[in-house]
Structure 1
Amino acid sequence: MNHATAKNSLNTLTDLQVGNRSYGYHSLPRAARQLGDLEQLPFSLKVLLENLLRHEDDETVSRAHLDAMAAWLDYNRSDTEIQFRPARVLMQDFTGVPAIVDLAAMRDALASAGGDPAKINPISPVDLVIDHSVMVDNFGQADSFAKNVEREYERN
């Protein structure tokens, strides 16, 4: 989300200057001025609160959602459902490859139905990590690369 379009009702948006670049972020100490002491909030809930601050729009994220996160300290629970929009998703090959295949199949189906396949995309950026090593079985020959690729496919 563009920080300029977020509501920022708690006035938490602040700048961090690094060299010649400026980065916007939402300050939890600033949020605490209106929400109360957030120091005892578990780290995982601080991450969720910061995410809500970034996406506050009065439609999917409102001041009531921010208050519910802060009230968690009083009750150690909440029945309020919140939005979570990660900045990016990291997937390992075991789950990422099937997701890519699903996206490709949906794009093909949409194209076959006359739709625009470019409309099928993840909402959040996704990084796919292939977590296996490549081994060298053949070297120093003209066909070494081809043989190594063949062995790689056999293994994985």
Structure 2
Amino acid sequence: MTAVASQDSFGAKSTLDVDGTSYEIFRLDAVTGEGLDVASLPFSLKVLLENLLRTEDGADITADDIKALAGWDENAQPDKEIQFTPARVIMQDFTGVPCVVDLATMREAMAELGGDPSKINPLAPAEMVIDHSVIADVFGTPEAFERNVEIEYERNRERYQFLRWGQGAFDDFKV
């Protein structure tokens, strides 16, 4: 579920045409006003500002939130939280497996309470990358890759079965 802005207080919503394809964008230069100098913001804060413009809803993210970030003062003491809504979450398996366990547990609790467990899903598209658990037991032969994959699946069969279940059970979750 990608957050969609229901407000555009600064008129920042625009389109960018590239080779005949139009993309929806939110222009940072639309955020203007006294004490606001968007051009001088560090790149990381520009990314956060674009996120606020894209997800402004008037409730959780307001024009005041956008102005507060656009008027950032590096010498001031932080006094306001920055709302951030990721468009996608990428996890590696060490942290991702516990997240899937938590979601599965929440589904179980929802069912026990008489609710609809299928309503428990990641709030943003989530992708898990399993990238570091493979051990090279076999090497130096043409079949080394295939054999190492076989051994990996044998060692971690339960984990992979659980993740396969999670990929099928949850919306917007890929392994």
TM-score by length of 1: 0.79
For 1:67 and 1:75, locate their aligned partners in 2 and report how far apart those are by CA, in whole Å.
17
For 2:76 and 2:26, locate their aligned partners in 1 and report how far apart those are by CA, in whole Å.
24
For 1:83 and 1:62, locate their aligned partners in 2 and report how far apart those are by CA, in whole Å.
10
Give the alignment of 1:103-114 within 5 angstroms. 103-114=103-114
Instruction: Tell whether 2:68 aligns with 1:65.
Output: no
My pick for the range that moved more, 89-98 or 40-49, is: 40-49
Deviation at 1:21, TM superposition (A): 2.8
2:125 counterpart letter in structure 1: P
**Larger RCO (alpha carbons 8 Å, 6+ apart):** 2
| 1:136–1:148 Cα contact (<8 Å) kept | no
The CA deviation string for residues 42-75 of structure 1, in whole angstroms up to 9 with x for no partner, is 1111111111111112211111111111221374
Q: Specify the SS of the correspondent of 1:127.
A: strand
Instruction: Tell whether 2:155 aligns with 1:154.
Output: yes
Instruction: Tell whether 2:33 aligns with 1:34.
Output: yes
For 1:55 and 1:113, locate their aligned partners in 2 and report how far apart those are by CA, in whole Å.
32
| 2:135–2:148 Cα contact (<8 Å) kept | no
2:30 counterpart letter in structure 1: R
Unaligned runs of 5+ in 2: 160-175
How many equivalent residue pairs? 148
| RMSD between superposed Cα atoms in Å | 2.8
| 1:72–1:78 Cα contact (<8 Å) kept | no
Q: Specify the SS of the correspondent of 1:34.
A: coil
For 1:148 and 1:72, locate their aligned partners in 2 and report how far apart those are by CA, in whole Å.
50
